[in-house]
Amino acid sequence: MNNRLSVMVYLIFYVFEKGTNALTVTSPTEINASLGSDSTIVLNCSFEKETGERVKQISWIKKNETGNEYRKIVSYFHSYAVYNDPDMKKRSNSITFDDSSPSAILNISEVQCKDDGQYQCIVGYINSNGIWADTRTETSVYIQVMADIPEFTIQPANTTLEEYSAVNLSCSANVGRPGGKVTIWKQSHISDERIQLGNSSSSVTDTGNCSDYANLLITYNLSRSDHGFIFGCTSKNKHTNDPAPSKEVGPRTILYGPSKLSIAFSPQKHSFFAGDRIRITCSSDGNPRPTFQWMFNFTKIVNGEKYHLSDQDRTIEFTISSIKDSGYYLCFAFNSFNGKLYNINDKKMLIVQEKDIYLSSDRKSCLNIECSSIEKCTIQDNTAICSVDIWKIVAFVFLSFSLVLGTTFAILWRYLKPRNPGTILDEIIIRDGEERSYETLSSGTIHRNSEERNYESLSNGMTDTYNSIDESALRVGEGAHYESLGSGETHTYSSIQPTVSM
């Protein structure tokens, strides 16, 4: 019982499968046709049937422009066709099917915009079980319309513009069918590459003349890198072949002030020596081309006996005469446009050292030459050179200064220190009214009096007092005579030492 049921179920599914899916229908998936009287659309619907199946009718239907409904265009029967669309009947012909030709062909001539759209082929037949069935397939027809050359403008329309100024780029075009886009771009005069600035995001379809219109507006800020560029617009769709229709304007001249200034020495060395020939070059971009001026330590350099200027004053060349040529070399670059002046400057330090070059062939090593105490030996261009060592000079000056300072300090210390009693009198100028103290070498007794002077004999230790003293003479090794105002006595002293009371 179970075996019989299984066989019956199998037969039912076999019959159903053979009855509903045996016949196959094919048609082109996509057809691209050009608009015009010389264009043709060929819709070929073919079928393949199994034994016992009979095709009764083939129909071509087309989807309406709005909605999802389809309308019948033509139906094919054995040996004849019936049109449901009068316009299609006028500009098409049909090849119907029969037992020897398993296909129905609809040839549409004088292709129009309304021929664009979705088509279906439906094959109606009776299967081997005598049941009516149909199978269908779908074909997309695209009417190709070439894109037109776009309209492109740039505002302001001046061909010479300043850096950072804004321009409006406007482009519009019929991009054809199927809908396409417009692209605004720029291109250098030295390159074939087009740099895209923007694309249109949508288009407006006009079904009346089979056109799609696209528009694009861009505000673009110019930079110095845009100098010499052309700007343009291209219209295209997916069927447009390169080169696509384009329109361009330009090139544009971009004005900008000098920048990127640099100063270079030639030859490239850290330091130079007297007698070297040097070339200093100043570089800067700018449009119009900058004018250059030079200064040395803020003194203007002019073309003359020492300096030679060339390349529109971009380069100075001269022979270094001495270390006095050391210092800053300044370059100024400037231009002007539209009543405005633009400038930039920079400086570079030139280091010059004096040198003593030994030109003998064996003077290639510092071991073979002798430099002075303030020089050092270096090897340059395979030649031993003695050049001034600034650090040795600094050390020499420091040592000399230290020696002078030490000597001065010693002298001052000697004369400013306190004096010991018993020293010899160096000064014997005595004036009335001064208070002086004198002492003998033997006793060391000190006498002071505002009006009187006390002097002590060096020989006998006697002390005499005088109201005033008449000094006749006082010399080393000679006696001095002083006479009393009262007694008229005269005493002889070999020397007198004053001790000034402070």
Q: Does any domain span residue 9?
A: no
**495: which residues sit within 8 A by CB, 6+ positions away?**
424, 425, 458, 474, 476, 480
Q: Does any domain span residue 1?
A: no
With b for 16 or more beta-carbon neighbours within 10 A and e for fewer, the 263-294 pattern comes to beeeeeeeebbeebebebbbebebbeebbbbb
202 class by beta-carbon count within 10 Å (0-12 exposed, 13-18 middle, 19+ buried): exposed
As a whole number of angstroms, the distance between CA 500 and CA 436 comes to 5
**123: which residues sit within 8 A by CB, 6+ positions away?**
23, 25, 45, 47, 55, 57, 58, 134, 135, 136
Report pLDDT for 396: 75
Judge if 360 and 392 occupy the same domain: yes
Cis peptide before 86 (omega within 30 of 0): no
Report pLDDT for 141: 93
Q: Does any domain span residue 344?
A: yes
As a whole number of angstroms, the distance between CA 496 and CA 476 comes to 10
> 396: which 2 tokens?
């020499």
Q: Does any domain span residue 11?
A: no
pLDDT by 10-residue block (mean), the chain, 502 residues: 48 45 87 86 93 92 92 92 92 88 92 92 93 94 90 95 96 89 94 94 74 93 95 91 91 95 94 94 96 95 94 96 94 96 96 66 63 74 71 77 84 72 43 44 42 42 45 42 44 47 39
As a whole number of angstroms, the distance between CA 116 and CA 120 comes to 13
Give every strand in the sheet of 253-266, ordered side by side.
160-162, 253-266, 277-287, 315-319, 308-310
Judge if 428 and 411 occupy the same domain: no
Domain boundary among 251, 270, 292: 251
Closest CA to 482 of 502, 465, 461, 501: 465
Q: Does any domain span residue 165?
A: yes
As a whole number of angstroms, the distance between CA 297 and CA 318 comes to 16
Q: Does any domain span residue 220?
A: yes
Domain boundary among 389, 416, 443: 416
**Alpha carbon 105 to chain centroid, angstroms:** 67
Domain boundary among 91, 121, 144: 144
Closest CA to 59 of 50, 68, 47: 47
Q: What is the DSSP letter of 297?
A: T
Cis peptide before 290 (omega within 30 of 0): no
CATH number (domain holding residue 131): 2.60.40.10
Q: Is 116 helix (H, G, I), strand (E, B) or coil?
A: coil
Listed in order, strand segments (DSSP E) in 395-479 are 436-438, 453-456, 463-466
Closest CA to 219 of 166, 179, 154, 146: 166
The whole domain housing 327 covers 262-351
Report pLDDT for 142: 87
> 190: which 2 tokens?
């030295």
Q: Is 451 helix (H, G, I), strand (E, B) or coil?
A: coil
> 23: which 2 tokens?
């016949």
As a whole number of angstroms, the distance between CA 30 and CA 251 comes to 43
Q: For residue 213, how many other CB atoms are within 10 A of its CB?
A: 18
Report pLDDT for 460: 43
Amino acid at 206: D
Judge if 34 and 139 occupy the same domain: yes
Amino acid at 496: I
Q: Does any domain span residue 4?
A: no
Cis peptide before 243 (omega within 30 of 0): yes
Q: Does any domain span residue 62?
A: yes
Judge if 58 and 97 occupy the same domain: yes
Report pLDDT for 159: 93
Q: What is the 3-state secondary structure (H, E, C) of 145-213?
A: ECCCCCEEEEECCCCEEECCCEEEEEEEEECCECCCEEEEEEECCCCCCEEEEEECCCEEEECCCCEEE
Judge if 443 and 455 occupy the same domain: yes
Judge if 383 and 277 occupy the same domain: no
Closest CA to 25 of 52, 11, 43, 4: 43
As a whole number of angstroms, the distance between CA 318 and CA 106 comes to 91
What is the number of structural domains in the chain? 5
Judge if 288 and 309 occupy the same domain: yes
Judge if 232 and 200 occupy the same domain: yes
**163: which residues sit within 8 A by CB, 6+ positions away?**
222, 223, 224, 254, 255, 256, 257
Judge if 313 and 215 occupy the same domain: no
Judge if 35 and 136 occupy the same domain: yes
